[in-house]
Amino acid sequence: MTAEIISGTQVAAEIRAELKEKTAKLKADKGVVPGLVILRVGEDPASVSYVKGKEKACDEVGIYQETIVYPDDVDEKTVLDKLVELNNDPKYHGILVQLPLPKHISEDKVIDIIDPRKDVDGFHPVNVGKLLIGNPYFMPCTPAGIQQLLVRSGNDPAGKHVVICGRSNIVGKPILAIMLQKKDGANATVTMVHTGTKDTASVTRQADILIAAVGRPKVITADMVKEGVVVIDVGVNRVPDDTKKSGFRLVGDTDFEAIKEKAKAITPVPGGVGPMTITMLMWNTVNAAESASA
Ligand code: GUN
């Protein structure tokens, strides 16, 4: 069996087109333009590049966006005070603080002070708790994107055994909460494996759907999956590659080339989960504006 390739680029484009229609309708019917404010501290090149991608996506789907940039040595209070001000500014339906932050600023304090109804990252403890219960204001963007990839590629998780590799707060734990819910696009039997798991392969071999969010290159090998599995690879790992101008290439957490000969479907890296994350940020922001104007 050679796997169908689940293109995140394609699914993301489809969702962005839907969101563009929604923002146009919101404006025409209610005079509301969804607004996202991004707060960035310092000039970390990866953060600068991620934020640029978010700004571009906002422009594409019709979201008003603004980025506030602070220098690396800004004090914590300035950032927290600004977030309180933004919580109360009706122009912004979503607030995003680009992480990581410099060490002297507490990420917990920053996340805690954002109004959960504007927390389009879905990182606030209220949203984390509400996700587990099953009624979050927002789902975190990468796991929400994984759910959309599965459903829209015809691989509904209902009744399937989903095995998640990795227990991070940003991907592993929230995708577990999402897949567990008794709801459309979920209702799966869910198992999680992590660094404390004994005989990981005996568990991953049971997966109908395997979600790899480990953060290490190609650790999920073909002998660890069964024939006909659906694989979602969340990994974005840089490995040295002399044939590239940059000196590196991106690979996932799974051995794509070998697994694609065994799987029913698999996401590529890049072009799989990656393009979905920013798209779901747009989704959350448009939904926030809809809820605020309902
Ligand atoms: N830094 C890397 N990924 C993310 C993300 O999803 N949200 C925020 N706020 N910062 C990030």
Considering only CA atoms, which of 2, 43, 1, 6 is closest in space to residue 252? Answer: 6
Q: Are residues 45 and 147 in the same domain?
A: no
Q: Are residues 105 and 166 in the same domain?
A: no
Q: Please give the pLDDT value at position 92.
A: 98
Identify the bridge partners of residue 253 per DSSP, sorted by sequence position. Answer: none
pTM of full prediction above 0.95: yes
Residue 10 belongs to some domain of the structure: no
Same domain? For 155 and 250 the reply is yes
Both 105 and 37 in one domain: the answer is yes
Catalytic residue among 22, 65, 82, 121: 121
Q: Does residue 286 form part of some domain?
A: no
pLDDT of residue 1: 73
Q: What is the reported pLDDT for 294?
A: 83
Distance of CA 34 to the CA centre of its chain: 20
Domain that holds residue 258: 141-273
Count of structural domains, the chain: 2
* Helix count and strand count (H, E) for the chain: 10, 11
DSSP for 243-268 reads TSTTSEEEE-SB-HHHHTTT-SEE--
The active-site residue, picked from 22, 65, 98, 173, is: 98
| Both tokens assigned to 63 | 């979201």
Ligand 1 atom nearest the C-alpha of 142 is 6
**Domain identity same for 146 and 229:** yes
| Residues having CB within 6 Å of any atom of ligand 1 | 96-99, 121, 141
* Nearest CA owner, ligand 1 atom 1: 99
Successive 10-residue mean pLDDT values, the chain, 294 residues: 95 98 98 98 96 98 98 98 98 98 98 98 98 97 98 98 98 98 98 98 98 98 98 97 95 98 98 97 98 90
The CA 204 to ligand 1 mean position distance, Å, reads 28
Cβ partners under 8 Å of residue 164, min gap 6: 172, 175, 176, 179, 190, 191, 192, 193, 211, 213
Q: Any catalytic annotation for residue 121?
A: yes
Do you find a cis peptide bond into 102, omega within 30 degrees of 0? no
Same domain, 162 and 256: yes
Residues 264, 180, single domain; the answer is yes
